[in-house]
Amino acid sequence: MASLPAGYPDQAFDAFAFLKSRTELSVEDMQVLAMIECFGEAFYLILAENVKNDEARALLTRNGNEERGHAHRLLKAIKLKSGQDYALPSNEENPFFKFAPSELKCDDDLMAALMQGEADGDLVYQVWADAESDPKVAELLRQNGREETRHGERVEQVKKLLAA
Ligand SMILES: [Fe+2]
Ligand SMILES: [Fe+2]
What's the 83 CA to ligand 2 centre distance in angstroms?
A: 27
Q: How far is the CA of 87 from the centre of ligand 2 (A)?
A: 21
Domain ranges of the chain: 12-163
Q: Residue 87 CB: number of other CB atoms within 10 A?
A: 7
Fold of 12-163: Ferritin (1.20.1260)
How many A from CA of 123 to the centre of ligand 1?
12
Around ion ligand 2, which residues have CB less than 5 A away? 118, 148, 151
Question: Separation of 40 CA from ligand 2 center, angstroms?
Answer: 7
Question: What are the residues whose beta carbon lies below 5 Å from ligand 1 (ion)?
Answer: 37, 67, 70
pLDDT at 3: 84
pLDDT digit of tens for each residue in the chain (164 aa)?
Answer: 778 989 999 999 999 999 999 989 999 999 999 999 999 999 999 999 999 999 999 999 999 999 999 999 999 999 999 999 999 999 999 999 999 999 999 999 999 999 999 999 999 999 999 999 999 999 999 999 999 999 999 999 999 999 98
Q: Give pTM, 2 decimals.
A: 0.96
Ligand nearest to the CA of 63: 2
Report the distance separating Cα 83 and Cα 100, nearest Å: 32
pLDDT of 1 reads 78
pLDDT at residue 123, as a whole number: 97
> How would you label 43-76 residue by residue, b for 16+ Cβ within 10 Å and e otherwise?
bbbbbbeebeeeebbebbbebbebbbebbebbbe
